Amino acid sequence: MNFLTKFTFVFMFAMSALLTVQAQDATATALYNEGLSSLKSKDYQNGYDKIKAALKAAETEENEQILGLAKKNLAKAAYSLGNQKLKAKATDEAMGLFDEGIEMNPAYPPIYKGKAAALKAKGQSVDAIKMYFTSADLYEKAGKAESAAKAVKKAGSVVSKLYSGKKYAESIEAGKAFLEVKESHKVHYYVAKAFEKQKDKTNALTHINKAVELAGDKATDKYFWAQGNIAEKAGDKAVALKAYKKITDAKYKENAAFKIKELSK
């Protein structure tokens, strides 16, 4: 090894050691600020790593201010990074991040919404609905009614998507979990349709009747058509006729008129 090569090697080694010492000596405040900057620029992985390092440094320094801030923002970083992992189909990694975020800041509503999405991706529909409602409850407590309503809507979409995917038993199970917390004419409608597909006439009629009742003036002909069909199959001629007679939409009108004529004989 010649002199120049030796000098270059020694210089690079010294610089590496210096950088390592500087990294070790980085304060919690500096790491925290770097993390925030990365999150702002949507570099979620680096932001998460820096804020996590800031949290560890704050514990060592006994810096209570940065400790509290780092915990809150680590939850935000975990949420953003977790969503990124979900999009990349890295569901287990995303779940771990959401769980960590909940541990860091259990009062942060979006983190439960993130976990709900991960649970849904893993096929754990009932648990996903519960997480969406936890998120909605925290949004309500924070005075964010619009965000709470969006979380509830997400929970409802779990039921409708299961039905659309022909997963009728799962749709019923998820629908029941939803309805234990909150009434919804849309959820009752999909549960009714799922029961109908399973040829459970009694439960189908119970839920479609409830759907129409809760919808009130907002009940569409789609609801009346479903109610008429289900009631007819269940042998409730009176309910079926009443439902068919409420139909005005051209999409169902002709068939409804035929049904009325047949049932009136």
Domain presence at residue 195:
yes
pLDDT of residue 7: 38
Sign of CA dihedral 191, 196, 198, 201: positive
* pLDDT value at residue 165: 97
- Domain containing residue 253: 183-265
Close Cβ partners of 114 (under 8 Å, ≥ 6 residues apart): 79, 82, 83, 86, 94, 97, 98, 101
CATH code, domain with 226: 1.25.40.10
**Tens-binned pLDDT, residue by residue, of the chain (265 aa):** 554 444 344 334 333 433 332 344 479 999 999 999 999 999 999 999 999 999 999 999 999 999 999 999 999 999 999 999 999 999 999 999 999 999 999 999 999 999 999 999 999 999 999 999 999 999 999 999 999 999 999 999 999 999 999 999 999 999 999 999 999 999 999 999 999 999 999 999 999 999 999 999 999 999 999 999 999 999 999 999 999 999 999 999 999 999 999 999 8
Residue 26 has what pLDDT? Answer: 75
Tell me whether residue 257 is in a domain.
yes
d(CA 200, CA 54): 57
Task: Give whole-number Cα distances, 70 to 73, 74, 95, 156, 210, in Å.
Answer: 5, 6, 20, 34, 48
Q: What is the pLDDT of residue 154?
A: 98
| Structure tokens that stand for 219 in this block | 């009940």
Task: Please state the separation of Cα 249 from the chain's center in Å.
Answer: 34
Residue 260 parent element (H or E):
helix 250-263
When divided into structural domains, the chain yields a total of 1
- For residue 265, the model assigns a pLDDT of 83
Within a domain: residue 92?
Answer: no
Question: Does residue 233 sit within a domain?
Answer: yes
Task: Tell me the angle at which helices 91-104 and 64-87 cross, rounded to the nearest 10 degrees.
Answer: 160
Residue 107, helix vs strand vs coil: coil
Query: Per the domain annotation, does 76 fall within a domain?
Result: no
Residue 146: inside a domain: no
182: left (phi over 0), alpha (psi -120 to 50) or beta: beta
Asked if residue 17 belongs to a domain, the reply is no
Domain-embedded: residue 248: yes
